[in-house]
Copies of this chain bind each other. A is one copy, B any other.
Amino acid sequence: MGQSAELTRRVRAEDLVTFAEVTGDDNPVHLDEAYAETTRFGGRIAHGMLAGGYISAVIGTKLPGAGVIYVSQSLRFRRPVRIGDEVTAKVVVTALDEARARVSLSTICLVDGKEVVAGEAEVLVPRRGA
């Protein structure tokens, strides 16, 4: 309870191209600067799910024991993430259900101390041996 883990990644323009290719989400707000400048964002923004992937990275690589199983994730996209932003994805343990081997997590992404993505996750922690 209260245990936390985080990672920080800088969003590069090429990450948006790669993410578009691997997912198929080639919406021009992510790829076409001239188009994106005409939108409310005033320039290209990252795919919200890229920030979701950073949360997944904390869960998949920073929680003790790489064997946790992702059960659910909610994401609220609160502010745009832009090229050059340093995004810190942070996960905090908020509840343990030992009987069901479930752990609840608060999951946020921050840029310059401001929450860009908020959400919660649940993971299953397989019992090993006894």
Binding site for B on A (CB under 8 A): 7, 9, 15, 18-19, 21-30, 39-40, 47-50, 52-57, 60-61, 66-67, 69-77, 126
- With both beta carbons as reference points, the residue of chain B lying nearest to A118 in the complex is identified as B72
CA–CA, A47 and B126, complex, Å? 18
Give A26 to B60 CA distance when docked, in angstroms. Answer: 7
Cβ B9 vs Cβ A60 within 8 A: no
7 more A-B contacts (CB under 8 A) besides A24-B57, A27-B66, A72-B75?
A: A9-B24, A18-B18, A23-B53, A25-B61, A47-B53, A48-B56, A49-B53
- In angstroms, Cα B79 to Cα A71, docked, is 9
Chain B residue with the shortest CB-CB distance to A66 = B27
Which B residues touch A76, using CB under 8 A? Answer: 71-72
Assuming the contacts A24-B61, A25-B53, A53-B25, asked whether A77 and B66 have C-beta atoms less than 8 A apart, the reply is no
